[in-house]
Each structure stands twice: as C-alpha cells, then as structure tokens.
Amino acid sequence: IKYISVSESAFIPNRNRNVWSLLAGLSGPPGAGKSTFIEALGKYLTAEGHKVAVLAVDPSSSTTGGSLMGDKTRMPELSRDRNAYIRPSPSGGHLGGVTRSTNEAIVLCEAAGFDIILVETIGVGQSEYNVAHMVDMFVLLIPPAGGDELQGIKKGIVELADVVVVNKADGALLPDARRIQSEYTSALKFVRRRSKIWRTKVTRVSSLKKEGIVELWKDMMQFRDVTMEEGELEVKRRKQYQIWMWSHIEHHLLYVFKHHPKVNPSIKEMEQKVSEGIITPGLAADYMISKFLE
C-alpha cells in the first residue's frame, strides 16, 4: 500500500458552507424508475445552470466483475450533456454495494466544480445505510404499487429518508401514486425523525412527463438551506469524515491481513477445510488471526 502525503486542503471539501456542493443519495426498489428519474432531474438541473455528477453504483458481474445494469446507457440524454458526468461503478462485491472509491469520487467531483452530486445505490438494503453516511440528504424513490400504511412503517429504510418520492405518477398509475403518497405521509408521523429541524416530505413526480421535478427540487433546496442555516449540515459532514476514515482503515487492514506472509499461504487451506466442514469458520478465523499476530 502506497501512502502519499498531501496538504489537508487538497482533499477536504471547502470549509465555506456557502460553496458546498449538494450531495444527495438516491435509492429505491427495483422497478422504481431510478435511472429515468435521475435523467429527468439531471436535465432540469443542467438547464438551470448547474453541473451534475451522477455516481451510479451497480451490482457486479460474478464473471467479468463489471457493472450489470449499465446505468450510463440508461441515461442517454444526460450522458451527452456537457454539464453532466456519469460514473457507473461496479460494486465489486463490497457489502452494501457502495464501493470503497465512492468517497474519493465524491471529493473529486466537488473539486472539479460539480455543485450537485447524486449517488445512486443498487437498493439492496445495506447500501442505503452506507450511502446515508456519505451524503447531505437521502432521497427514497418508490413505485406507485403495493404496500399500505403499516408497510410504510415497517420499512426501516423510510427512517433514513429526508424526502420520499413517489415516481411514475402519470396515466393509469396516478390514482395509485396519490394513494401511496397519502399513506406514506401518514406513516411518517410514527417514524422517529433523524433531524430536529426537518420533517420528511413526501412528493410525487412523473419522470416520463417531467412533472413534479421543479417542486421536488424546491424541497431539496429548502432542506439544504434549513440544515445549513442551523449548522446541522456542517456537523453531519464532520461526522462523515470520521466514518470515512474508519472505513478506509478497515479496508486497509483487511488488505494487509490477507497479504501477510504468515497468513496468505494458509488462506486457501482454511477456506477448503471450512467448506468441507472439517473446522468451523470461527476456529479458522482464530487460527489465521493468531498467525497474523505472531
């Protein structure tokens, strides 16, 4: 592992809160229309003069290691926009789907002048909790079908959301979208608030017809202005820097452990014995740790 000494100003975002980029995490179940939504929102923002970066974390192929969903090809208009940058990155098997390099990519995008950074997750549960420690606000996208008021309460992911967006609110799905919006609005009354100054809002949009995008953006701007004015946003970012630090330490330690000269030769042997049931996973782990500590 090679470490490079640089000044703190080279990698810490600007301390001036007035010029901070807005970091928004986007997630939702499969079929919620995340890519279409991001393209509609991104095109609106670039038309308003913003520079938008999209960091789309895809599931990884077990065969090639590459991205399976290919989100860049699912946003044809935005990918051709000169004021937009899309970086599809395979999760690489990382727990939660958030790659180790996502933190650095966010910092680089900020330094490159992108004032809106959208981090799209693969929506598998754990990734939402990981992304929540990387962004200023978390946007949950849901389709207008299925579920009820109680179902909305049971989903722990709702507790992380700063804004809930009911997508595909058009055509025959419009009545369902209105019903889901009402049910989630009611359900959120029973969910513990993460912020003392912000109450989660539920809105509906049609990415296909570009309806509701302006209203959603106003809500997102209101969130940033309120949390920035009260100092909550700065406190959140400072805590995130600490979380990022420990996350990097964990990854570095795992790398060092696997490549240790006394551990590396026994990894395949221990994996084989564990898979055949000769020894327990815990005993194998204790053995390799003891070799590492020697």
**pLDDT per residue of the chain (294 residues) written in tens, 0 to 9:** 444 444 343 444 444 444 578 999 998 887 788 889 999 999 999 999 999 999 987 654 444 444 444 455 678 888 899 999 998 765 554 544 455 677 788 888 999 999 999 998 866 555 666 777 788 999 988 888 755 544 544 456 777 889 999 999 988 889 989 998 988 888 888 877 878 889 999 999 999 899 999 999 999 999 999 999 999 999 998 988 888 888 888 888 999 999 999 999 999 999 999 999 999 999 999 999 999 998
Confidence at residue 125, expressed as pLDDT on a 0 to 100 scale: 57
Distance (Å, rounded) from C-alpha 29 to C-alpha 179?
A: 18
- Cα 56 to Cα 8, 67, 73, 242: the distances in Å are 27, 10, 12, 23
Confidence at residue 245, expressed as pLDDT on a 0 to 100 scale: 85
Confidence at residue 193, expressed as pLDDT on a 0 to 100 scale: 80
- Encode pLDDT of 82-99 as tens digits: 999 998 765 554 544 455
Predicted TM-score of the model (pTM): 0.77
Distance (Å, rounded) from C-alpha 68 to C-alpha 92?
A: 11
Domains and CATH numbers, the chain: 22-231 (3.40.50.300), 246-293 (no CATH)
Confidence at residue 150, expressed as pLDDT on a 0 to 100 scale: 45
Beta bridge partners of 88: 56
**Tokens standing for residue 5:** 């000494």
Distance (Å, rounded) from C-alpha 211 to C-alpha 231?
A: 32
Distance (Å, rounded) from C-alpha 54 to C-alpha 114?
A: 10
Distance (Å, rounded) from C-alpha 122 to C-alpha 34?
A: 10
Confidence at residue 156, expressed as pLDDT on a 0 to 100 scale: 66
Distance (Å, rounded) from C-alpha 109 to C-alpha 234?
A: 19
Question: What SS3 string covers 30-62?
Answer: CCCCHHHHHHHHHHHHHHCCCCEEEEEEECECC
| Angle CA 55–59–63, to nearest 5 | 130
